[in-house]
Amino acid sequence: MINTILQYIVVILVISIIIIAHELGHFFAARRAGVKVEKFGVGMGPKILSFKRKETEYCLCAIPIGGFCQLKGEEEASNDPDSFDSKSPFKKFLIAFSGPFANILLSILILILTFNLFGNPFIWQIKTIQPDSPAAKAGFMIGDEFIGINGNITNNWGLIREEISKSPNKEIIVNVRRGDKELSIPVVPKQSSDGTGLIGVEVRPSDKRESFINSIKLSLEMNYSFFKDFITFLGMLFTGKVTSVAVAGPVGIVTTAASTVAVGWSYFFFFMALLSVNLGLINLFPFPPLDGGRIIFSLIEGIFKKKVNKNVEATINTIGFMLLMALIVFVTWNDIARLISPH
Q: Mind telling me the catalytic residues?
A: 23
C-alpha closest to that of 138 among 185, 198, 182: 185
DSSP state of 208: P
Tell me the CA distances in angstroms from 45 to 61, 67, 177, one per residue in order: 6, 10, 51
For the four alpha carbons of 13, 19, 25 and 26, in that order, the dihedral sign comes to negative
Please give the single-letter amino acid code of residue 248: A
Could you give the 3-state DSSP secondary structure of residue 121? Answer: coil
Residue 128: phi and psi, rounded to 5, are -140, 155
Tell me the CA distances in angstroms from 34 to 53, 100, 286, one per residue in order: 16, 20, 25
C-alpha closest to that of 52 among 65, 39, 42: 39
Could you give the 3-state DSSP secondary structure of residue 318? Answer: helix
- Say how far apart CA 330 and CA 28 lie, in whole Å: 34
Residue 138: phi and psi, rounded to 5, are -80, -15
- Say how far apart CA 150 and CA 278 lie, in whole Å: 34
The rounded Cα 121 to chain-centroid distance in angstroms is 15
Give the largest CA-CA distance in the chain.
Answer: 78
Tabulate helix, strand, coil % of the chain (nearest 5): 55, 20, 25
C-alpha closest to that of 237 among 318, 327, 122: 327
Please give the single-letter amino acid code of residue 46: P
